[in-house]
């Protein structure tokens, strides 16, 4: 065995493979840069058309995925892999891939419907799929939602689209729903007037429509009042907590008796007990 020839063959093979790998790395880096540049240019051009951020991000993600798949196929072709054979292999495994990716495909289809129908957009506060929070992004397969306790949650698009969606940001005003228990000995009209007057002074409470204060139900202790001020979406929680404090201040200033629990006691004489 001529070791010199063996070394030359190994050296030439390693050199060729090394140059090929280096070329593939350069192709990948340049390709990724071109993809980022192209996606950025498309999004920048579409943003001038005043498209919603939800649609912009979805289009950008779709273009990015398509171009990245094209880049991978180009790199495989650079290594000598027949792309036609690669496509035939994917076609032959189509049933298995369709079964394995069924969830992803349904999420992708649901994502398209979410973008087209637009039941919500980026920045909206929604409740859907068992999650409540602010929409940060509608992606190809998942929607990113930040919950009120600042937890980033990723929900499959199909789960959102197949569930009931409550969009709290769709309308300019929301109604705050609160209740207050008063004593049966208190004058409900006086209590309602005092609470309404106090609630109307809370910052960011809408003047029109006026806050609703009425008797919602009755309990053995006394009437239950419903207090419902209106406010903008941005000020909802501020009005919610301030209204609670206002109710406490009005009903706790000594003008209204505190509601006390009622107990029923039944007396029976000895003869009736024996019977």
Question: What does the alpha-carbon distance between residue 78 and residue 220 come to, in Å, rounded to a whole number?
Answer: 82
Under 8 Å between Cβ of 57 and 141 = no
* pTM of the predicted structure, to 2 decimals: 0.60
Average pLDDT, the chain: 80
Domain 106-167 class in CATH:
mainly beta
Q: Which residue has the tokens 């039941």?
A: 119
Question: What pLDDT does residue 36 have?
Answer: 82
Judge whether residue 29 has pLDDT over 60: yes
Beta bridge partners of 212: 228
> Predicted confidence band at 143 (pLDDT cuts at 50, 70, 90)?
very high
Q: Single out the residue of 146, 156, 152, 168 nearest to residue 237, CA to CA.
A: 168
> Predicted confidence band at 8 (pLDDT cuts at 50, 70, 90)?
low
Domain 173-251 class in CATH:
alpha beta
Omega of the bond leading into 238 within 30 degrees of 0 (cis): no
Q: What percent of the chain has pLDDT over 70?
A: 73
- The pLDDT of 130-148, averaged and rounded, is 91
Question: What pLDDT does residue 6 have?
Answer: 54
Domain-wise residue ranges, the chain: 9-84, 106-167, 173-251
pLDDT digits (tens, 9 = 90+) for 196-237: 999 999 999 998 889 999 999 998 888 999 999 999 988 999
Q: Over the range 135-164, which residues count as b (16 or more CB within 10 Å of their CB) and which as e?
A: bbbbbbbbbbbbeeeeeebebbbbbbbeee
Q: What is the dihedral of CA 112, 116, 119, 121, to 10 degrees?
A: 80
Non-local (6+) Cβ contacts of 130 within 8 A are 163
Question: What pLDDT does residue 147 have?
Answer: 94
Strands (E), the chain: 125-128, 131-138, 142-146, 152-156, 166-167, 173-175, 178-181, 212-218, 223-228, 230-232
């Amino acid at each position: 065995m001529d070791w010199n020839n063996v070394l030359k063959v190994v050296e030439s093979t390693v050199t060729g493979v090394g140059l090929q790998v280096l070329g593939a790395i350069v192709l990948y880096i340049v390709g990724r840069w071109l993809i980022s540049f192209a996606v950025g240019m498309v999004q920048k051009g579409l943003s001038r058309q005043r498209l919603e951020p939800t649609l912009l991000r979805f289009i950008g993600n779709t273009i990015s995925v398509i171009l990245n798949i094209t880049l991978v196929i180009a790199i495989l072709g650079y290594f000598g892999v027949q792309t036609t054979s690669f496509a035939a292999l994917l076609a032959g495994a189509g049933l298995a891939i369709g079964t394995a990716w069924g969830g992803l495909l349904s999420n992708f289809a649901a994502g398209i419907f979410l973008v087209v129908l637009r039941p919500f957009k980026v920045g909206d506060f929604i409740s859907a799929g068992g999650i409540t929070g602010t929409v940060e992004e509608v992606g190809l397969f998942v929607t990113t939602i930040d919950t009120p306790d600042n937890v980033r949650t990723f929900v499959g698009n199909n789960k959102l689209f197949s569930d009931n969606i409550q969009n709290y940001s769709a309308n300019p005003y929301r109604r705050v729903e609160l209740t207050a228990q008063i004593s049966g000995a208190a004058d409900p009209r006086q209590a309602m007037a005092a609470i309404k007057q106090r609630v109307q002074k809370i910052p960011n409470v809408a003047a029109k429509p006026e806050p609703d204060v009425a008797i919602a139900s009755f309990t053995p202790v006394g009437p239950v009042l419903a207090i419902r001020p209106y406010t903008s979406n941005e000020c909802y929680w501020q009005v919610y907590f301030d209204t609670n404090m206002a109710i406490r201040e009005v009903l706790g200033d000594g003008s209204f008796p505190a509601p006390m629990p009622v107990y029923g006691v039944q007396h029976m004489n000895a003869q009736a007990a024996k019977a």
